[in-house]
Amino acid sequence: RKEVEQDPGPFNVPEGATVAFNCTYSNSASQSFFWYRQDCRKEPKLLMSVYSSGNEDGRFTAQLNRASQYISLLIRDSKLSDSATYLCVVGHNDMRFGAGTRLTVKP
């Protein structure tokens, strides 16, 4: 079983749609949780950290469920510029990347 698993997609949604990604992890000792965004042929960039109580940043909401060992990312009112690959990153001292979920937002 992979340490971090994500649905690879692709997710193709119209502008304005709400889309949710999930990510499961196998190591119950994991302490750090992040969502990164990677555009084509660019480096990964931190989108948001994920906190136990859940957190929101504008149109983006991240949730952590330690009991079920998954994190989620919700994007509301999606924009064309949200098209990218979203990487789930989980770990303690060493971070492990999920395979990424490809999102395409269409006009």
Partner 1 sequence: DTEVTQTPKHLVMGMTNKKSLKCEQHMGHRAMYWYKQKAKKPPELMFVYSYEKLSINESVPSRFSPECPNSSLLNLHLHALQPEDSALYLCASSQDRASGGGNIQYFGAGTRLSVL
Q: Binding residues for partner 1, per CB under 8 A?
A: 31-32, 34, 41-46, 49, 87, 89, 91-100
Min dist. Cβ of residue 24 to partner 1 (A)? 15
If the CB atoms of residues 76 and 96 are measured against partner 1, the closer one turns out to be 96
User: 80 φ, ψ to 5°?
Assistant: -55, -35
Contact 3, 27 (CB under 8 A): yes
State which residue, 15 or 46, has the beta carbon closest to partner 1.
46
What does the alpha-carbon distance between residue 20 and residue 61 come to, in Å, rounded to a whole number?
A: 9
Q: Are 97 and 87 in contact (CB under 8 A)?
A: yes
* Residue 87 vs 105, nearer CB to partner 1: 87
Query: Smallest distance, Å, CB 107 to partner 1?
Result: 24
Give how far the C-alpha of residue 1 lies from the chain's centroid of Cα atoms, to the nearest Å. Answer: 19
- Output the smallest distance, CB 80 to partner 1, in A: 21
